[in-house]
Structure 1
């Protein structure tokens, strides 16, 4: 469970805007730096397939900001030494008593959602505990009875491959991410206009992540 204190400013964060239904509060200004899928996997404390079984917004008495405590049922632990069958993570933002607080670029996992989650830390106090926010947040969708992996903005993932071995002189620089549509380098998605490329199954996705972690 994450502790309930005000979130520190992180080196990779340059500009975040929390906006409410009735007013806007420029609390943190944050822009995320794009990551390689290699680093998303290797730097995560734990990686798991799970399902959101509870979402509980609470008002932080110190900061006055709404945080949402999300409980996941762990279906399959891909990486890490976590021993429980469920885990609670804290995300900044949420809806409470008609007031909505949103952190720009951060998507809260929804109740009933299934996915694969790359958790940066299970103990540090963060705006979003997932690696690179959207870069460590993948959805599992049922497509014709088959469990397929999508990005958090619902683009089918067709391939993941390591890019860490690419020489820096020819490797594209990491991009800055300012919304929830950022994906890690090495993750290939299918355009919505192209339907002939099949998305990776959840099992294949996890298997490729394990292969990446072993190399």
Structure 2
């Protein structure tokens, strides 16, 4: 009984990670997810077009069998990919992230932006590679991410701070100048997308751009 209650609780938590209109699709996706001994961790709230969703920072379920995933609808598969982009294993996160980047669904955006503020540099590179339109004025991707971040300025501010923190802690030896770190270009592109949508953000939380006066960008 106790385990059944815990499974139901975890299922409800994952349903809350998506807009309410998708509840049936989310439960369809969850039907193929193996049960995990560990519950989802540290949920974070964001606004998706006026509706609050609460997304787990980490999940720990093993990946489902490909045959089971193949029986899901396209929306259910996209939901499943989003959830596994929150997995505790970085390789699993990246593999599923790469399958959601082409989506134009607004509820995918928070899963992608959150990953921009994490420590796996290969994931940062995958995001920029998978969002070529992010650097193209007027593109659908710029509109999608600009609109989402405009609605979630505090969330983006935390993302910027995390990008700088992980760079300083883990990658400064490889990228002495912040502007050369993959996360720098990514958050700059997100910030530019917001400006194109007329959104207002908090002041930059990243080191200032390079200049002739200070070539190290300090």
> For the superposition of Structure 1 and Structure 2, which TM-score range results when normalised by the shorter chain?
under 0.3
Higher Cα radius of gyration = 2
More RCO (CA 8 Å, sep 6+) = 1
Structure having the larger proportion of residues in strand: 1
> Normalising to structure 2: TM-score of the pair?
0.24
